[in-house]
Structure formats: C-alpha cells, structure tokens
Chain A
Amino acid sequence: MMAPPRGMPGGYGQQPGIILLREGTDTSQGKAQLISNINACGAVVDAVRSTLGPRGMDKLMYDGTKVTISNDGATIMKLLDIVHPAARVLAEISMSQDSEVGDGTTSVVLLAGEMLKQVKPFVEDGLHPQTIARGVRKAVGLISKRLAEVAVDMPPDQRRRRLEILAGTALNSKLIANYKDLFAPMVVDAVIALDPLLLDLKLVGVKKVPGGSVTDSFFVQGVAFKKTFSYAGFEQMTKSFDNAKVLCLNVELELKSEKENAEVRISDPDDYQSIVDAEWKIIYDKLALCVECGANVVLSKLPIGDLATQYFADRGLFCAGRVAADDLGRVCKATGAVIQTSVQDMDRPGVLGLCAHFEEKQVGGERYNVFTGCPAAKTATIVLRGGSEQFIEESHRSIHDALMIAKRGAGDSRVVGGGGAVEMELSRYLRVEGLKCDGKDQLVLCAVAKALEVIPTQLAQNSGFDPTDILNALRKKHLDEDGLWYGVDCDNEGIQDTLEKEIWEPALNKANSLLAACEAACVILKIDETVRNPRSQDPGAAAGGQTLQQQHARTSQAMGGRGMAGMMGRGGRGVRRLK
C-alpha cells in the first residue's frame, strides 16, 4: 500500500547511493505518497461502509481464538489491526469518537474518508495540499456555525422523553434495534440515576447472563452482582431483607494467622492451648463486632470462610465474600456504605449503608444478589440476557453506545434530525456558501458539501434503495422552506421529516464528529513524507506493505552502489538509496 519509492533525480545526480537513514528505513514522499495515503483511507472506509444505519450489516471478525460480531465502527477498527500509518490516523479518530461520544464512530470514518476522496482530484491536478487543508477547515468552521443555528433546543420539561428518543435513535442501528422500546427507557433510567455532576458510566453495571431471551433483560435501580463463591452454611442464611443495613469490608473473615512475619514461641506446654484459644478469640471477636454493628448484609472483598458463614447464618445475617472490587464500589455508592479495612471502630455512624430491599434472585442459571431502593442510588445495573455469547457481547456494546449518547444528551438539550437530514442541510448550506467564495476555496467547499452527502447516500444504499433517487429527492426537499429536517426513511423507501419522526441525535455529537473528521482529513492532507523506521527488534526487516521481491530488488541495487553503501560495513542490506 506504500507509495512507490522515490526515484527522482538528485540535484547533481552524480553521487551514487548516499545512505542517510538507518538501514531498513522506508520513505515515500510527494504527491504519489499523498494519493496512496488517501487510497489507504478509502480502503478502511470501505471496510466499515456497509455497517452504517439501521439497515447496516454486521461484520464477523475472527482473530484466531475469538469470534466477534459487530457493526460498531470503533470495535471493527480495533479488531482490524490496521498497519498502514495513514489509515491508522483514520482508525484513531473513530476510537477517539468512541471514548468521547460513544456513538457515531462509523460516520466519522465515513465522513473523513469521503472528504479525502472528494479532494483527491484536486491533489492530482496539482492544487497545493495546504490550500486544500485550509479550505476544509474553513468549510467545517462554516458548517459548525450553521449546525449551532439549526439545532433545536428541546424544552427541559421533556428531558426524559428526549433522552429516550436519543437513546432509541442510537439503538436503531444496532443488533437490538427491535427491542429498543425495552432498552431505551432502561438506558435513560440508568443515566438519570447517576450523579448529574460526574455522570460516571462506570457506575452503571452491565451484567451479561447467557440464556433466556433478550426480553428477559431487566434493569435494577441499584446494584446486582452474581452470587459469589460461598461456603457451607450458606443454605441456612436469610436471603431476603427489607430495609437492609449493609456492611462492606475489606477484611478476611477466616481462621488463619494474622501476620506473615510473626512467630509464636512458648516455653510452657500449658500455654499452647491459650495461644490456640487466642486465635479463635480473634476471629470470634471480629465476627461479633460485625454482628454488633447491626448489619444485615456483610460483604467483603476478601474471602469469608465457612466458620464466619455459619456464624452469620446462625444470627440471621447474609454474607458474601470475594465480591469484585467494582461491584463492591457500586454497592457503596448506592447504599452509602464505606468500605472498612478494620473491624475495630464500626460503631460510628456512616459506616453502614442502607437499601430498601435486598434479595438473592435466580436469573437464568445463575443466582444474583440484588440491592434495590437505595437512598444514595447513584448507580444502576442492567442485566442483559440473550441466546449466544456473541449476541450478548454485541448487545453490551450497543447498550454502551446508547448510554454514552444519553449521557451526552443529559448535559446538552440541543438535538438535530438524524437519518442524514442534518448532513443534507449542512451540505446545502455549504454549497451556497461555497459559491459565494472566490478562489480555490470554492472548489474545496463544494467538495466538502458533496462529501457530507455520503451519510444519506450510504444509509439509502444499506437499506437497499436507489441512492441516486433518494438523494435527488432530499436535495430538492432541502431547497424548500419546510424541508430542513428531511432525511432518509430507512423503513419505507423514500424520505421523511426525521425530527418529527423522532429520529434525533445530540447536536453536540454531530459537531464533535464533524470536527474530528475535519481534523483527520487535514492531518492526512498535510503529510508530505512518510518515513517508516525499522522496528528495533528486527532492523532491516520488511517495512510492511512491501513485498519481499521489492526488498530484494532494492537490496541488490544498494549493494551495487559504490561509495557510502560499501563504507557502512553492513553491506547495505535492505538499505534504500534516497537518490
């Protein structure tokens, strides 16, 4: 995929083979290099193109051990393991979009790739890449402004409804689109449950339980986690409490030596029994303290042994040891408990957490500990069910995307119409603005305007419609006063007002993806030389993308050269001659 080696004649042309760079280094530069970079990006775009939209297809990726089925742009990019440097830039923006916005990873890549594709003829015609990059940046500046103008600010009293629609739109293009009525409210409940200042999605637990049907998935306003490994005596425990007091520990409740570095030495054999008694006393004291503090449910990060389990069971308490740290953290957040590393001073207020109801429930083949009705409740759990592991994995990714969208939407109430409507509007606007410019900017602005149309085009194509027809209809409609929010109707061949049909996207996300796409396109346009150093482990080894034959050809060429090539002592193996 690399550009052909640079073969232009040098200034004086009479120095054979001066070696400037380390052997094995591969360089390419000039227009050919740029074109090659753009083509590589095109290849990446083609890989994810078909996944866009509600009718987008999924990709199955097999990395030798694990099968992944996904239509999430970032996931695909990650698994594709792209080695081409320029294409990697493109992959990176999709991942940045994933971490910042969560959704729209495919459209970012598509947009950046299309921008590059549209300006490629200008590069071929000799327009300076800097001029193009400046034009692209100007174009994106213009449409960002326009986007802010047209974005619809939704009234705050419809916050919940708005978030549900946004989450629903995000889920539309996912595997679980058919169940969006089930999941969208769940996602919104989860986001609303969070601390509005921090909105830390880590506090939304998504638990995957294979088996059952998707419709068996449920939402817990609180925490749920899989029953931990438990010892004998577990059966006798009370497994359901109302108004439970929760104690979270970081203490091992087992009979064992307290410290590794302590040694007991006794001179009188009679003392032996007292030492044994002391050890028992230590553990019993600890257990007694746990019970005395008034807790009903005792959770610990560390193991709770069979002695303790039995002890608690006898006294009507519930206990669970080896609780995963993040689950325990969420229990703390939800109930207001504070993790105790020592059992010594637990009679203070503020140590125990509260929840309205605790229960151990059977979900599928697993038992779950469920805490609901928590007063602090800044956490939520979604339990996903489904037939196959891949299905649940993909559902998880989809839920994550929807959560991210709802989270962004929670902070900003402006929305735009989806289904390519906003892109069509921006495209129309940019075309008008473009014609107002003189000079080369005009070309670039119109090219970006055309590039924006890739979203509706691809939506139509993925839905099996004739993209040309749809696009023509949309272009015509967008010239009308009331055609602002017309986008592709993916269900019935044609166009529709997506704002009215409640296909919404947060304006913030759109602005972010436009900027990200612009940045990526500009970065690639501004590269005039690609240098690939050999990896430090294998100097002289193949720079990827070049065949072995090419390398050998180059090697022999370099070996033949006189002067420095011979001087380097390494025989010039795999060395590129720069001139």
Chain B
Amino acid sequence: MAMNLNMAGGAQGMMKEGSTLADGVDEAVLKNIGATKQLAKIVQSSLGPNGMKKLIINHLGKTLVSSDCGTIARELEVVHPAAQMVSMASAAQDSEVGDGTNLVVSFSGELLKLAEELLRTGLHTSEIVQGYELAYAECVRVLPELEVARVKNVRDAAEVAKAIEPVVAAKHEGVEGILSKVIADACVAVLPPAPEAPILKADQVRIAKLRGGDVASSTMMKGMIVMRPSETTVQQLEDRSKVVAFNCGVEMATTETKGTVLIRTADELINYNKSEERALEAIVKEIADSGVKLVISGGSVSEMAVHFLEKYQLMCLKITSKWELRRLCGATGCTALVRLGAPTPEEMGSVSKVSTKELGGRTVTVLEQLGDAQTKIATVVLRAATASLIDDLERAVDDGVNAVRMLCKDPRLLAGGGACEMELSKRLRDYCEASTGMDHYALAKFADAFEVVPRALAETSGLDQTKVIAELRDQHAAGDATAGVDLAATLSGGGTGAPVRDGYAVKESALRLAVDAAVTVLRVDQIIMSKPAGGPKK
C-alpha cells in the first residue's frame, strides 16, 4: 500500500547539494505523526484544572512556569515542520478564542496517533482523511444538540463568574473562585450599557501585576492604574475631576528645522528667556482656566512645564506608551490632543477619583471611576508572591476575559469535564455502526480520539484512567449525556459529573482547528528541505 517509489536518489540529484528529501508513509507520514505525538504528549499533562505546569527557560533566559498550552507551545520553539503546524493551530486558537489551546494540540495529536495505527494496518492516508472529515462533519451536526445551558444575561456578573470558573480553574486551580469573580466584575463593568449589544474586547480589561501579597488580595477596579506617580506634588483628586490628554509633550514646541535665534539688542537678550517662560505659562494657565485638574502627557514634560503646572495646582501624568495613552483616553473618555492648549468641553474627559498609593513597593497612580460612571477600561489588580506565579495568573485572567468575550458572542454552554467529548464519542460510534465501507475504520478511531480528554483529566488528577473511561462510557450509554470526570474525587474513582461547563464557541473552534491540523499533517507525503542558507543562525 505504501508509496515506496524509491525516488530519493533521483530527486536528490535534481536538487542542490545538502537538500534532503523524505517521502512515503514510512519516511514522511509516520515521522510527522511521531513528532506531533511528542508535542501532544508534552502538553497533554497540562490539560484541565489539575494539569501540571512546565518550567521553561526561554531563549532570553526568562523563567516561565505555566500550564497554559498557548504559552508552552510558543515558548517551546518547536522546529519540526509537522509539529509546528499543530503548534500554529493552537496559536490560532489562542488568538481567535483565547482558550482551549490544549484541546487543539491534544486532540490532533490523538487523531494522528490513531491514524498511525490505521496506516500500519494498511489503510491509505486519503481514506483516513476522508473518514476524519466525515466524522468532523457529523460532530458539527451533533454539537448544537449537546447544549446544556446558556448564559442568560452576560451583564450579570455572578452568572458570568460561574460560567468562566472552569476556564480559570483549568489554568490556575485553587484560586478560581476569587479570580473568576474579579474577572467577571471587570468584564461586566466595561460592557456598553443595556440597549447596546454586549461586545467585549480583550484589550478593555487591563492587568496590573503587583508582586507581594497573595492571590486572595487581588481585586478589580473601574479605571486604570498607572505605574508612576504624578509629576507634580498634587497627588490626589476627588469629585469627578476633568482630564485632558496630549499626544505631544507638555513643553515649549521646538522647531524641527535647525534654527538660530538672532538677537540684535541688549533688551532682546534680556527678554528672550522671559518671553518663552511667559508663553508657556499662558498655555498652562489656559488649560487650568478651562477647569482641567489632570493633565496627561504622551511625551516629555519639561521642568519648566512642571513648574507652572505646580503653580496652577494641576496634577500631571507622563505616559510614554501610545497604547497606554489611548487606553487612558478610553478610561476617562477624553480625546488626545496633538497640540498643547486648552481643550474644548467635548475633548475633556473626567475621572471620579485619582489617588497615589504604594502597592507592593511601587508608587502607582490609581484613576478610578466610581459608582455607575461609564468606562471602557477596567483593571484587574493581581497580587502574588513570585514573578513567575503572577505571570501565570495573568495568563489565567487573559483566558477568563477571552471566555467572557466568547460568551458575549455565543452564550451557549456545553457540559465540561470531558462529558461533551464522551457524548460526541458515543454519538459518533453510533453513526459509525451505521456506516459501511472504508470510512468505518477512521470514524471509529475519531470516536476513540475524543477519549483523550477524560483520560488526561483523570490522569492529572491521579485517578485510574481505565476505570474512569469505563464508567463514563457506561453512563453515557445509559443516556446521561452530561457525565464527566469528577476532579474533586481524588480518593476513589470519579465519574459522578460535577456541574462544569465549557463555552460552545471554544469547543467548536478547537475541534475545527485540531481536525484541520491533523488532516493537513496526514496529507503530507513528501518533505523537502533545502539546505539552510549561511549567515548567522536565528
């Protein structure tokens, strides 16, 4: 069956020296499968709330401790071309959905592993591909039937918190109760008011990382935290102060063209400096007269400007990042001006309360919107003892926010803890029974592949996986479509099914990407690598 054309010698002669070529089932397909299997094996143990973490030292020497598959796949620096495809699929899931990256890698790895068995029994790759695609089509048809619940109101923080708890738990078990509530509060706070459609951008929830303290003291607030104090001595502002933001620096404009000031008389010399000072003072006074209390500068703030800001008792924040400035504008509702001068009332923003605090050894400025004041930005303040832990928490928050984002788009929920996968597996097996022809084998394997999820969950929880799978199969056969792995039951066998829910959109996208990746890898029958060009290695 295998295509052993033995053309290696011929093709090799055709190409530049140093090129390598591999083809056929043995040389190419099985090798590719082997590599993806290895990648899947590495990340599989990180699946679920009890997933283990990986300690990675990346090429910059930075230490990462994480169980987030997106991060792991990115930092592992996979070089094998086939494994890279799977890793890219998980990256796509990460950027599109933000969660379920592990499912992509694990599931496509499992699909390929089972395909290998079929290949060894003599099936042709195209038959497997066909069978897998058929199975995927059936899954897509069945999946909507598996919906078990729906988030009724995405503006209800308590309901959202419950829905995203499993997502946070999967990344950082033990703190999901605290974190998911904080995340939900933050997300709900930035949703546009009721009549408008709830649309959330992941960018709207900021994360401030403060080392020290513990996770339980993490909080959320409407508004932003700026990691530096005010430039002037005005440190606190109360009662809805007006804000103006400048894209430029707060200083005297200098000419771009090289210019020299020509002085002809002694009076000119004496007044030269004074006139410049007066000009700047006039601008600052104008700003102060417009009622503004807080000046945000996107560029430098000259010492002279600080002097006058101080004189008129204005608070001044220097924000060097353009992105940060844009977010601050969003948080306060002001428009960034490109020229120094007094703003019109429409261009001004407002902020309920500004205070300077010392958090975790750093002086920060907190811009808060109290009460029901609208804001486009909310901040999750994360606290933890170590830098690597806090980075990992940040990834958990990112996933949580993304989960809320997806819920806003699609409020449907599926049974979690492997229940959904077990049910799909069961349905597919039924479907497979009815099919005839060569597809049958691939369909059966596809159904088996779903079991990788409950198996991984059981394994990381220290349960007997064979027993768990058997029990789950039993329950699903008996018609309980929501039976999943009970992760809390670490002492005895699991399988009682905790009410864990997964987002529908996440699962759908993960399945699609996993199948796509697996099928693409299977379809490759020849690998040609030209000799890498000389020069410095990356």
Q: Do A and B bind each other?
A: yes
Query: Could you tell me which A residues sit within 8 Å of B by CB distance?
Result: 10-12, 15, 18-23, 25, 29, 37, 85-86, 88-89, 92-93, 96-97, 99-101, 127-131, 134, 137, 198-200, 250, 258-259, 261-266, 271, 274-275, 277-279, 281-282, 332, 338-342, 344-345, 348, 439-440, 512, 515-516, 519-520, 522-523, 526-536, 539, 563-564, 566-570, 578-579
- CB contacts (< 8 Å) of B361 on chain A: these are 99-100
Q: List the 8 shortest-distance A-B pairs measured between CB atoms, nearest first.
A: A100-B212, A128-B462, A528-B52, A341-B307, A278-B266, A516-B385, A99-B361, A536-B59
Given contacts A92-B387, A130-B462, list 6 more A-B pairs with CB under 8 A.
A96-B385, A259-B261, A259-B273, A282-B270, A519-B385, A569-B18
Q: Assuming A523-B389, A531-B76, A533-B56, is B233 touching A338 (CB within 8 A)? A: yes
Query: Distance in Å from the Cβ of A25 to the closest Cβ of chain B?
Result: 7
Interface-lining segment among B27-35, B177-185, B288-296: B27-35
A29 to B43: give the CA distance in the assembly, Å: 12
User: Can you report 20 A-B residue pairs in the complex whose CB atoms are below 8 A from each other?
Assistant: A20-B83, A22-B77, A85-B63, A89-B63, A96-B387, A100-B360, A258-B269, A262-B263, A263-B260, A263-B262, A265-B264, A340-B307, A512-B212, A526-B52, A527-B54, A528-B52, A529-B52, A531-B54, A533-B57, A536-B59
Query: Distance in Å from the Cβ of B534 to the closest Cβ of chain A?
Result: 11
Q: Determine whether the beta carbon of B20 is less than 8 Å from that of A569.
A: yes
Q: Assuming A512-B214, A519-B214, A533-B77, is B52 touching A130 (CB within 8 A)? A: yes
- CB contacts (< 8 Å) of A15 on chain B: these are 30-31, 34
Query: Distance in Å from the Cβ of B111 to the closest Cβ of chain A?
Result: 15
A532 to B59: give the CA distance in the assembly, Å: 8
Contact indicator per residue, chain B 504-538, by CB within 8 Å of chain A (1) or not (0): 00000000000000000000000101011000011
Contact of A137 among B174, B272, B277, B303 (CB under 8 A): B174
Query: Distance in Å from the Cβ of A344 to the closest Cβ of chain B?
Result: 6
Most buried by B among A10, A199, A262, A281: A262
- CB contacts (< 8 Å) of B385 on chain A: these are 93, 96-97, 515-516, 519-520
- For chain B, which range describes its interface: under 10, 10 to 19, 20 to 34, or 35 or more residues? 35 or more
A482 to B531: give the CA distance in the assembly, Å: 79
- CB contacts (< 8 Å) of B387 on chain A: these are 92, 96
Query: Which residue of the partner chain A has the closest CB to B258?
Result: A261
Q: Determine whether the beta carbon of B53 is less than 8 Å from that of A278.
A: no
Contact of A271 among B52, B215, B265 (CB under 8 A): B265
Contact of A569 among B31, B63, B531 (CB under 8 A): B531
Q: Determine whether the beta carbon of A519 is less than 8 Å from that of B389.
A: yes
Contact of A258 among B262, B273, B306 (CB under 8 A): B273
Q: Determine whether the beta carbon of A531 is less than 8 Å from that of B384.
A: no
Contact indicator per residue, chain B 377-399, by CB within 8 Å of chain A (1) or not (0): 00000001111110000000000
- CB contacts (< 8 Å) of A523 on chain B: these are 53, 65, 386, 388-389
Q: Provide the main secondary structure of the chain B interface.
A: mixed
A37 to B57: give the CA distance in the assembly, Å: 14
Contact indicator per residue, chain B 30-46, by CB within 8 Å of chain A (1) or not (0): 11001101110010010
Contact indicator per residue, chain B 353-376, by CB within 8 Å of chain A (1) or not (0): 000111011010000000000000
A136 to B392: give the CA distance in the assembly, Å: 19
Query: Which residue of the partner chain B has the closest CB to A514?
Result: B214
- CB contacts (< 8 Å) of B75 on chain A: these are 531, 533
Query: Which residue of the partner chain A has the closest CB to B43?
Result: A529
A110 to B337: give the CA distance in the assembly, Å: 54
Query: Distance in Å from the Cβ of B279 to the closest Cβ of chain A?
Result: 12
Q: Assuming A130-B462, A259-B272, A526-B52, is B22 touching A567 (CB within 8 A)? A: yes
A338 to B461: give the CA distance in the assembly, Å: 62
Most buried by B among A93, A522, A526: A526
Query: Is B13 in the interface zone, CB < 8 Å from A?
Result: no
A533 to B267: give the CA distance in the assembly, Å: 68
Query: Distance in Å from the Cβ of A11 to the closest Cβ of chain B?
Result: 7
Q: Determine whether the beta carbon of B461 is less than 8 Å from that of A85.
A: no
- CB contacts (< 8 Å) of A20 on chain B: these are 35, 38-39, 78-80, 83
Query: Distance in Å from the Cβ of A146 to the closest Cβ of chain B?
Result: 16
- CB contacts (< 8 Å) of B50 on chain A: these are 130
- CB contacts (< 8 Å) of A516 on chain B: these are 214, 385-386
- CB contacts (< 8 Å) of A129 on chain B: these are 52
Q: Determine whether the beta carbon of B174 is less than 8 Å from that of A277.
A: no
A279 to B266: give the CA distance in the assembly, Å: 8
Query: Is B211 in the interface zone, CB < 8 Å from A?
Result: yes
Contact of B304 among A137, A258, A282, A341 (CB under 8 A): A341
A400 to B18: give the CA distance in the assembly, Å: 63
Query: Which residue of the partner chain A has the closest CB to B310?
Result: A338
Q: Assuming A512-B213, A519-B384, A523-B65, is B358 touching A198 (CB within 8 A)? A: yes
Query: Is B479 in the interface zone, CB < 8 Å from A?
Result: no
- CB contacts (< 8 Å) of A566 on chain B: these are 20
Most buried by A among B54, B360, B532: B54
A11 to B35: give the CA distance in the assembly, Å: 12
Most buried by B among A97, A131, A278, A566: A278
Query: Is B58 in the interface zone, CB < 8 Å from A?
Result: yes
Q: Determine whether the beta carbon of A275 is less than 8 Å from that of B31.
A: no
Query: Is B5 in the interface zone, CB < 8 Å from A?
Result: no
Query: Which residue of the partner chain B has the closest CB to A529?
Result: B54
Contact of B386 among A29, A130, A342, A519 (CB under 8 A): A519
Q: Determine whether the beta carbon of B214 is less than 8 Å from that of A527.
A: no
A281 to B363: give the CA distance in the assembly, Å: 43
A533 to B361: give the CA distance in the assembly, Å: 32
Query: Distance in Å from the Cβ of A210 to the closest Cβ of chain B?
Result: 28
Q: Assuming A128-B462, A130-B462, A567-B22, is B263 touching A578 (CB within 8 A)? A: no
- CB contacts (< 8 Å) of A274 on chain B: these are 265-266
- CB contacts (< 8 Å) of B386 on chain A: these are 89, 92-93, 96, 516, 519-520, 523
- CB contacts (< 8 Å) of B409 on chain A: these are none
- CB contacts (< 8 Å) of A134 on chain B: these are 174, 490
Q: Determine whether the beta carbon of A21 is less than 8 Å from that of B31.
A: no
- CB contacts (< 8 Å) of B42 on chain A: these are 29, 529
A277 to B266: give the CA distance in the assembly, Å: 8
Q: Determine whether the beta carbon of A339 is less than 8 Å from that of B38.
A: no
Query: Distance in Å from the Cβ of B389 to the closest Cβ of chain A?
Result: 6
Q: Determine whether the beta carbon of B55 is less than 8 Å from that of A86.
A: yes
A25 to B54: give the CA distance in the assembly, Å: 14
Q: Determine whether the beta carbon of B31 is less than 8 Å from that of A563.
A: yes
A332 to B266: give the CA distance in the assembly, Å: 36
